[in-house]
C-alpha cells in the first residue's frame, strides 16, 4: 500500500527558503520525496546542500518578491510545479501614527501582492494541466489578532487568510487545494527583536501553554502534511501552529 504521507514524484517551490521556516519547510518536503526548488532573494545554496546531503533532491532559484510582477514572470523557469509554498515575508515595526507609506507598500508587496500573483500563476498552470496541485500560504497569528506596531504586517496576514479561502472556494473542485499555516511565536529572524526584549519575551512565553518559543521544524511538519495525499480533503483551512496561544 502506498503511504499517504509521501511526495515522491512531486515538484515543489518554496519561497524564502534560504533560512528559518522556509528552509525547514524545504527540507521537510524533500525528506518525503519531493524535488524542491528553494527560492529566495538571498542565496538558497545552503538549503540545497543540506537537502542533498540528507539524500534529497533540490535546486536553488533567485526570486525577489519585492518586485512581485518580475518574480512571477520568472516562475515558469521552475518547471511544472505540483506544490507552491508562499513563505517569504517581511515585517516593519513602528507606531501606527508614524508608519510610513514606503514601509506599508514594501510589506504589502511581498506579503500579499506577491502571494496573490504567485498563487494566480500557479493556479492557471495547474488548472490547465488538470492534474491538481497544492498551495500552502504562510499566514500568522496576526491573521486573527491585531498585534502591536505592525499595521502593514497585520493587514497583509489578514489578507493572506482571506485569499487562501477564496482561492480554495474557486479551485477545490478542480483538484487544487489551497490552505494556510499560521505560525505562532517562532524563533526566527522576524522575532529576534521580541526575543531580545526581556520584558516582551517573558510576556509572550507566559501566554503560550506549551511554555516555549516554536521552532521552524514545528511549522514544516504542518506544511508538509497539507501537501501530502493525507490532506486530500483539507482545503480553505488556516491552521494555527502556535503552542496553544489562540486557545488561551
DSSP 217: H
Residue 77: Cβ within 10 Å count: 11
φ, ψ of residue 87 in degrees (nearest 5):
-105, -30
> In whole angstroms, what is the distance from residue 38 CA to residue 58 CA?
7
Other residues' Cβ atoms within 10 Å of the Cβ of residue 131:
11
Angstrom distance (rounded) from CA 43 to CA 32: 23
What is the rounded distance in angstroms from the CA atom of residue 17 to the CA atom of residue 15?
5
* Beta-sheet pairing, 133-138 with 83-86: parallel
Residue 101 grid coordinates: 507609506
Q: Which three cell numbers stand for residue 136?
A: 500552502
Judge whether 185 counts as a catalytic residue. no
Question: Looking at 99, 153, 185, 233, which residue is catalytic?
Answer: 153
- Residues facing 236 on adjacent strands: none
Q: What is the C-alpha radius of gyration for the chain, rounded to an integer number of angstroms?
A: 17
Catalytic residues: 153
Amino acid at each position: 500500500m502506498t503511504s499517504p504521507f509521501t511526495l515522491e514524484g512531486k515538484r515543489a517551490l518554496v519561497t524564502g527558503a534560504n533560512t528559518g521556516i522556509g528552509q525547514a519547510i524545504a527540507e521537510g518536503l524533500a525528506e518525503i520525496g519531493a524535488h524542491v526548488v528553494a527560492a529566495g532573494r538571498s542565496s538558497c545554496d545552503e538549503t540545497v546542500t543540506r537537502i542533498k546531503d540528507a539524500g534529497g533532491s533540490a535546486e536553488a532559484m533567485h526570486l525577489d518578491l519585492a518586485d512581485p510582477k518580475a518574480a512571477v514572470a520568472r516562475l515558469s523557469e521552475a518547471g511544472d510545479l505540483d506544490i507552491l509554498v508562499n513563505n517569504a515575508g517581511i515585517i516593519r515595526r513602528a507606531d501606527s501614527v508614524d508608519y510610513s507609506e514606503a514601509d506599508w507598500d514594501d510589506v504589502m508587496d511581498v506579503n500579499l501582492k506577491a502571494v496573490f500573483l504567485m498563487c494566480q500563476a500557479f493556479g492557471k498552470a495547474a488548472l490547465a494541466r488538470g492534474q491538481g496541485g497544492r498551495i500552502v500560504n504562510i499566514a500568522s497569528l496576526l491573521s486573527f489578532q491585531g498585534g502591536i506596531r505592525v499595521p502593514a504586517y497585520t493587514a497583509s496576514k489578514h489578507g493572506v487568510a482571506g485569499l487562501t479561502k477564496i482561492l480554495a472556494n474557486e479551485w477545490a473542485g478542480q483538484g487544487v487545494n489551497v490552505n494556510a499555516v499560521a505560525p505562532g511565536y517562532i524563533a526566527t529572524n522576524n522575532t529576534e527583536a521580541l526575543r531580545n526584549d526581556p520584558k516582551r519575551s517573558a510576556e509572550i512565553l507566559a501566554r503560550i501553554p506549551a511554555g516555549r518559543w516554536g521552532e521552524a521544524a514545528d511549522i514544516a511538519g504542518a506544511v508538509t502534511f497539507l501537501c501530502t495525499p493525507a490532506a486530500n480533503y483539507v482545503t480553505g483551512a488556516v491552521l494555527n501552529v502556535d503552542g496553544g496561544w489562540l486557545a488561551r
